[in-house]
Chain A
Amino acid sequence: MIAAAEPAFAPHTTSTRPLVAPMTPAERATIDASTRGPVLFFLGNSILWLLVATLLGFITSLQLYRPTFLADYPFLTYGRLWPAYQNIITYGWASLSGMGVAIWLMARLTRIPVRYAGVLVAGALLWQIGLTFGIGSILGGNSSGVEWLEIPTASAVLMLIGYALVGLWGILLYGLRKESAAYISVWYLLAAFLWFPWVFATAHLTKSFPQLGGVVQNIIGAWASQSFYSVWVTAVGLATAYYLIPKVINRPIHSYNVATAGFWTFIIFAGLTGATRLSGGPIPAWLVSLSIAANILLIVQIVTVAVNLVSTIKGEERYIYHSPTVRFTYFGVIAFLIASVLGLFSSLRSIDAVLHFTPFLVGLQQLIIYGFFSMVIFGAIYYILPRLVGCEWLSSSLITFHFYGAAYGGSMVTAMFLISGLATGIALSNPETTFAQVIDSASLYVAGRALAWVLVGIGHLIFALHFGLMLLRIGQPGGQPTLFGAHGEEAH
């Protein structure tokens, strides 16, 4: 295998702490090769789930525009497809792809080659068996009825065992690490690996406790879902961005101390933001106040990410034009900043009173999981894959089409959610507007959303095809990364 060209510089070796020894290209190639099997398995499977999610996103949008569409098939009605879509995009796509990228990052950052890769693959298999059973239950009408925790406990247990195989391994790897200084990405990954199983287990195992009183079940659902978004999705996404952008640009992050401050704020406050999802509802008011306060304090993290990643790229903007990795990742970082600021403002009581129960909140989730997380993961896949299969991406045009579909289509889907949320929110808050008029005010955006999903779908199909070609080793010869525009003009 020809090792991809890569500068000796590694983001995590720039801290002032002494190092064991710089990583040699040979060592890097060994570590990359050891991750090949499990990482390709996780990423490949996650892309299949992404395709299913895209299809469901399209169908559910169409159903809101044409309510009779597929209405005669119980398992394909909106009330079942929508939770299926939500569960597939979070537990199918975001979880598996995040784990795949995290495994690769962990191996590189700790400089430990992967051993017993079969354990990881078994974990992924168990996870997906549990998830498939869970999706089947939702479609079959056996959802738990707790929003955001729809899959049955049996599914959750299988998924948890699968996850334990992956997560424990990740933490073990960290314990064996050779690198003495833990880079900011490692901290974020540790947080994700440790938090995720606790939240998942606590939520799914307690949701059916008979002692649990009424709306406490809803509070747990809100807490678990928000934790998934704020902890798993944010932590894995930022860990990846903090690694990739400095790595490709070949310069250290702007300020390591600022990044650390952001991490601490994140760790302390991110877990407390969940109750905003039940703002104004029949729960104790202090819970919502606590979550709003936590949301406001998280602004520290937002600022640190903005300062760091945007400043790091300053003066090197040409990478956004030439490097697929940087273009996708940078897009994701900007989406994270927009989503965080919108999330902060929309959690304030006076604004929430208008936007609650509207598609605005769905749009925010979409912005985080698609605009931010998925784009960063796409960037990571464009970086990682050539290092695993030994050849470069076949065609920069295919990458361009994928980017257009994902960036423009994805932004359109999100914008349609957000704008129709604003429109219906304003219409709903005026009691003189009848509900029929409210429905009317949203119908155009629903149609737009269905169209936007088509764009996204085309992008994803092209991406999946390109990924498949890479698995078959059909691509450019290894060595020079496939760039947009002028080929090989920049040292990458």
Chain B
Amino acid sequence: MNRTLTVIAWIVGSFALSVYALVILPQKQIGGLQPQIAEEDGKITDIYPIQNIGIVEKGREVYRSEGCIYCHSQQVRDVQNGSDLFRGWGERRTVARDYIFERPPFLGSSRLGPDLANVGSGKWRNEAENDPRRPAKRNAQWHLLHLYDPKNVITESNMPPYRYLFETRKITGQQSANALDLRKGLAPEAGFEVVPKPAATALVGYLLSLDRSHPLNEVKSAMLEPKK
């Protein structure tokens, strides 16, 4: 019986250790992180990160609900941990402070598609820097088109099309400003247009908001030049 009690005591003790090391300690260390605030002459000049509001938060819900995290990560690793920075997915690694307002953060564990931590930044790319097929701008129109028909914008894409986030409707009066400019075969018949539903608009708003390139004091390593 004593031996049994010993076994149970060890099981309980090891569980306590596991919770302490992997839940309580991390929460103590990074659970209370605050935004980085820059002040000049007693006036706040800069705060990062800030909380999402309105359409961006709605778009975040669409991102969660559609399970985008199972193919897209939102974390940029340092140069010794992979080629993330060289691929144009960010200018610095991301750290815990980048995610303090996110419930939950969409770190992701799989990259069947590119990392999206900075997809809203103008500098983000997923092609070689001089690739002629690199889109001039990944703006709202580009993202909407990409959601509706990924292969139209990236021939090799393995992303599923999200057509149910759009609707085809009859044009009454003038064509809508946000109607998609679709390729042959996908374009609706004359007199009809494809427009994003509110969920698609929100999702694109969220994607465009994703930019974690703001400098942080704790990130010292800048982008290194790739070895030629």
Contact with B along A61-79 (1 / 0, CB 8 A): 0011001100111100111
**A303-318 CB contacts (< 8 Å) to partner B:** none
Nearest CB of B to A422, in Å: 14
Question: Knowing A219-B22, A282-B107 touch, does A80 contact B67 (C-beta < 8 A)?
Answer: yes
**CB-defined contacts of A279 to chain B, threshold 8 Å:** 81
Tell me if B135 counts as interface (CB < 8 A to partner A): no
Question: Knowing A272-B22, A435-B114 touch, does A353 contact B31 (C-beta < 8 A)?
Answer: no
Tell me if B109 counts as interface (CB < 8 A to partner A): yes
**B149-190 CB contacts (< 8 Å) to partner A:** 150, 154-164
**Complex: A478 Cα to B79 Cα, angstroms:** 65
Tell me if A24 counts as interface (CB < 8 A to partner B): no
Q: Is the CB of B30 within 8 A of A284?
A: yes
**Complex: A25 Cα to B162 Cα, angstroms:** 62
Contact with B along A148-190 (1 / 0, CB 8 A): 0000000000000000000000000010000000100001001
Q: Is the CB of A182 within 8 A of B67?
A: no
Tell me if B222 counts as interface (CB < 8 A to partner A): no
Nearest CB of B to A105, in Å: 16
Q: Is the CB of B69 within 8 A of A145?
A: yes
List 6 interface pairs A-B (beta carbons < 8 Å), by A numbering.
Answer: A71-B161, A83-B67, A145-B104, A223-B18, A223-B23, A284-B26
**Complex: A227 Cα to B17 Cα, angstroms:** 13
Q: Is the CB of B163 within 8 A of A213?
A: no
**A174-224 CB contacts (< 8 Å) to partner B:** 174, 182, 187, 190-191, 194-195, 198-199, 202, 206-207, 211-221, 223
Contact with A along B23-41 (1 / 0, CB 8 A): 1001101111100000000
Question: Knowing A68-B160, A283-B96, A439-B158 touch, does A143 contact B67 (C-beta < 8 A)?
Answer: yes
Known A77-B66, A214-B100; 13 more pairs at CB < 8 Å: A71-B162, A77-B162, A79-B66, A79-B70, A82-B67, A146-B104, A206-B23, A216-B23, A268-B17, A431-B83, A435-B114, A436-B154, A436-B155
Nearest CB of A to B168, in Å: 13
**Complex: A79 Cα to B69 Cα, angstroms:** 8
**CB-defined contacts of B127 to chain A, threshold 8 Å:** 434-435
Contact with B along A417-438 (1 / 0, CB 8 A): 0000000000011111011100
Residue of B nearest to A206 (CB): B23
**Complex: A465 Cα to B14 Cα, angstroms:** 42
- Choice from A219, A349, A439 contacting B26 with Cβ under 8 Å: A219
Question: Knowing A213-B33, A431-B226 touch, does A271 contact B17 (C-beta < 8 A)?
Answer: yes
Q: Is the CB of B7 within 8 A of A190?
A: yes
- Choice from A80, A144, A271 contacting B104 with Cβ under 8 Å: A144
List 5 A-B pairs, minimum CB-CB distance, nearest first: A79-B67, A271-B18, A431-B86, A141-B65, A213-B31
Tell me if A443 counts as interface (CB < 8 A to partner B): yes
**Complex: A389 Cα to B81 Cα, angstroms:** 55
**CB-defined contacts of B93 to chain A, threshold 8 Å:** 282
**B83-105 CB contacts (< 8 Å) to partner A:** 83, 86-87, 93-96, 98-105
Tell me if A356 counts as interface (CB < 8 A to partner B): yes
Tell me if A280 counts as interface (CB < 8 A to partner B): yes
- Choice from A267, A287, A354, A429 contacting B22 with Cβ under 8 Å: A287
Q: Is the CB of A212 within 8 A of B27?
A: yes
**CB-defined contacts of B31 to chain A, threshold 8 Å:** 211-213, 216
Q: Is the CB of B156 within 8 A of A284?
A: no
Tell me if B45 counts as interface (CB < 8 A to partner A): no
**Complex: A430 Cα to B105 Cα, angstroms:** 27
Nearest CB of A to B111, in Å: 4
**CB-defined contacts of A6 to chain B, threshold 8 Å:** none
**A234-285 CB contacts (< 8 Å) to partner B:** 264, 267-268, 271-272, 274-275, 277-284
**CB-defined contacts of B154 to chain A, threshold 8 Å:** 436
Nearest CB of B to A87, in Å: 12
- Choice from A67, A216, A281, A430 contacting B159 with Cβ under 8 Å: A67
Q: How large is the interface on A (under 10, 10 to 19, 20 to 34, 35 or more residues)?
A: 35 or more
Tell me if A483 counts as interface (CB < 8 A to partner B): no
Question: Knowing A145-B106, A435-B114 touch, does A284 contact B160 (C-beta < 8 A)?
Answer: no
- Choice from A195, A217, A349, A357 contacting B110 with Cβ under 8 Å: A357
Nearest CB of A to B128, in Å: 6
Nearest CB of B to A368, in Å: 16
Contact with A along B121-149 (1 / 0, CB 8 A): 00000111001000000000000000000
Residue of A nearest to B63 (CB): A145
Tell me if A142 counts as interface (CB < 8 A to partner B): yes
**CB-defined contacts of A74 to chain B, threshold 8 Å:** 66, 164
Tell me if A358 counts as interface (CB < 8 A to partner B): yes
- Choice from B12, B23, B29, B162 contacting A284 with Cβ under 8 Å: B29
Contact with B along A5-27 (1 / 0, CB 8 A): 00000000000000000000000
Residue of B nearest to A138 (CB): B67
**CB-defined contacts of B32 to chain A, threshold 8 Å:** 213
Residue of A nearest to B3 (CB): A182
**CB-defined contacts of B50 to chain A, threshold 8 Å:** none
Q: Is the CB of B158 within 8 A of A194?
A: no
**CB-defined contacts of B161 to chain A, threshold 8 Å:** 67-68, 71
Tell me if A361 counts as interface (CB < 8 A to partner B): yes
Tell me if A394 counts as interface (CB < 8 A to partner B): no
Q: Is the CB of A428 within 8 A of B23?
A: no
Tell me if B73 counts as interface (CB < 8 A to partner A): yes
**Complex: A63 Cα to B71 Cα, angstroms:** 12
**B41-80 CB contacts (< 8 Å) to partner A:** 64-71, 73, 75, 77-78, 80
Q: Is the CB of A287 within 8 A of B26?
A: yes
